[in-house]
Amino acid sequence: MPSPPRRPSATRSVATPRSCGSRSKLTERWSQVIVELDALPEGVVGAMKMRRHRVGATALQAYQVSRQLARYRENAALLPHIDAMRRALRLTRSRSAPPPVTPEVPEAEVPRSS
């Protein structure tokens, strides 16, 4: 027959100054963990923006150098690649955002007195 579940002893639930202090410190540490975890997505987003910027700058630089090289007849083989880069560049450019739509608020009808 299984033994009944153990109940906590009364002496175990009594808080001592030492245990309260350690619990308080532990709570403060976990609060700091929460703060750091909340800041983590912002750091990741910032790092990704920097990487995208570097990749984009390198791609634009390669495009510009390719355009300069394609001016010479011996580099005519670059022209299809430059056209492909130009098309890709057009697709990535952000279009200007349309003006925000402001909802029309109907004027309150004023009851007419007869």
Q: What is the 3-class SS of the chain, one letter each residue?
A: CCCCCCCCCCCCCCCCHHHHHHHHHHHHHHHHHHHHHHHHHHHHHHHHHHHHHHHHHHHHHHHHHHHHHCCCHHHHHHHHHHHHHHHHHHHHCCCCCCCCCCCCCCCCCCCCCC
What pLDDT, in 10s, does the model give residues 26-39? 999 999 999 999 99
Question: Among 20-34, 43-57, 90-104, which stretch is predicted with the lowest mean pLDDT?
Answer: 90-104
pTM for the complete prediction? 0.51
pLDDT (average), residues 34-53: 94
Q: Residue 14 pLDDT more than 80?
A: no
Domains in the chain: boundaries:
18-91
Q: Which pLDDT value is given to residue 24?
A: 87
Q: Please give the share of the chain, as a percent, with pLDDT higher than 70.
A: 68
What's the whole-number average pLDDT of the chain? 82
